[in-house]
Amino acid sequence: MTDAVETGSTSAAQVIAEARHGHVPQVELAGARFNSLNGQGVIVTGGASGIGADIVRGFAAQGCAVGFLDRDEAAGKALAASLPNAHFQLCDVTDVPALQAAMATLIARLGGVGVLVNNVANDDRHAFEAVTPEFFDERIAVNLRPHFFATQAVIGPMRERGGGAIVNLGSVSWKNKTLGLSVYATAKSAMSGFTRSLARELGRDGIRVNCVVPGWVMTQRQVDLWLDAAGEAEMERSQCLRGRIVGTDIAHMVMFLAADTARMITAQEFVVDAGWS
Ligand SMILES: NC(=O)c1ccc[n+]([C@@H]2O[C@H](COP(=O)([O-])OP(=O)(O)OC[C@H]3O[C@@H](n4cnc5c(N)ncnc54)[C@H](O)[C@@H]3O)[C@@H](O)[C@H]2O)c1
């Protein structure tokens, strides 16, 4: 079903060196072909930058019609313009009616949807004792609530086409007990329960629901905001594998789960963390 051809030539040592100089390591798509994805409608939330953008690029390379929504208009327009069949919808996902309208627009533009990737999040650091009810609600409004309502928007169209695949993005941050992320980590841990309960709810409709759990992924934002010498040392100590995880590594797993390669896989978590957790 798949024809995996390794084309990436970037060595682990090169990847580490690039990350240390403040750049995001570049790793090519592996060249795997997922025949069942060709021509499918795919929606990615928060797809304008970071891991989401790599997921958008991955599906576009499979011949999918990819719709993605984000609040970053400049990045979203630039990404859509660089790809053959990609549709960007400006949307702040904390506004649920706006999210519902954006999902309906994208589904119409794609002519249906077979895959939803619930990727949007915000991992800004916060001190536990400084969290106010307003801040708590705002974090949940980006890290949990949109996943629920974006999913609600696709199940009708997925049922109509006889099934589909939903992939939720979790995080190892809560498994690794990362400091300064209490609300974010609580919301990311909820991806596990959301995944498992929906898998049961939707399985009889042929809709599979899985969760991809990334380790520390070297996006531009991570390199610019959080990567420092202590972080480098932590990755050296805690990862089993040398090298750095990049968005393409997450996109590979997401595509495997969205495609017929995962035909009988649902309600599961797949950790991509170089062996950290
Ligand atoms: N980068 C990592 O190390 C890492 C680790 C574990 C899990 N994850 C998970 O992977 C996913 C992607 O992570 P990332 O690092 O690429 O995130 P990111 O913060 O770099 O990008 C998220 C995207 O969502 C968009 N966005 C943020 N708030 C929005 C809003 N209110 N409305 C619309 N769009 C909004 C941003 O503009 C951005 O394009 C997330 O679910 C994250 O929790 C990331």
Quick: pLDDT tens for 27-67.
999 989 999 999 999 999 999 999 999 999 999 999 999 99
The pLDDT of residue 158 is 98
Residue 3 corresponds to which tokens in the numbers above? 């024809």
For the chain, what's the residue count? 277
Nearest CA, atom 10, ligand 1: 169
- Ligand 1 atom closest to the Cα of residue 92 is 32
Higher model confidence: residue 2 or residue 163?
163
Q: Lowest-confidence range among 14-28, 195-209, 215-229?
A: 14-28
The pLDDT of residue 197 is 98
Residue 55 corresponds to which tokens in the numbers above? 């997921």
Q: Is 184 a catalytic residue?
A: yes
- pTM (2 decimals)? 0.95
Which residues is 236 bridged to in the sheet? none
Active-site residue, selected from the candidate residues 34, 68, 174, 184: 184
The pLDDT of residue 3 is 34
Q: Which of 56, 69, 71 should be mutated for ligand 1, with most atoms under 8 A from CB?
A: 71
CA atoms within 13 A on the CB side of 244: 28
Angle, helices 133-143/182-202, rounded to nearest 10 degrees: 40
Instruction: State yes or no: pLDDT of 228 exceeds 70.
Output: yes
* CA 46 / ligand 1 centre spacing (Å): 6
Q: Give the chain's radius of gyration (CA, Å).
A: 18
Superfamily of domain 12-272: NAD(P)-binding Rossmann-like Domain (3.40.50.720)
Contact 217, 51 (CB under 8 A): yes
Give residue ranges with CB within 6 A of ligand 1: 46, 48-52, 70-72, 91-94, 119-123, 142, 169, 171, 188, 214, 216-217, 219, 221-222
Q: Quick one: pLDDT band at residue 4, thresholds 50, 70, 90?
A: very low
Pairing type for strands 164-169 and 115-118 reads: parallel
Q: Lowest-confidence range among 21-25, 142-146, 176-180?
A: 21-25
Nearest 10 degrees: Cα torsion 69, 137, 223, 217: -70
* CA 122 / ligand 1 centre spacing (Å): 5
Over residues 254-270, the mean pLDDT reads 98
Helices (H), the chain: 12-20, 50-61, 73-81, 96-110, 133-143, 145-160, 182-202, 220-225, 229-238, 247-258
Q: Quick one: pLDDT band at residue 7, thresholds 50, 70, 90?
A: very low
Contact 153, 166 (CB under 8 A): no
DSSP structure class, residue 47: -
Nearest CA, atom 36, ligand 1: 46
Nearest CA, atom 32, ligand 1: 92
Over residues 149-166, the mean pLDDT reads 98
- The rounded distance, in Å, linking the Cα atoms of 118 and 126 is 23
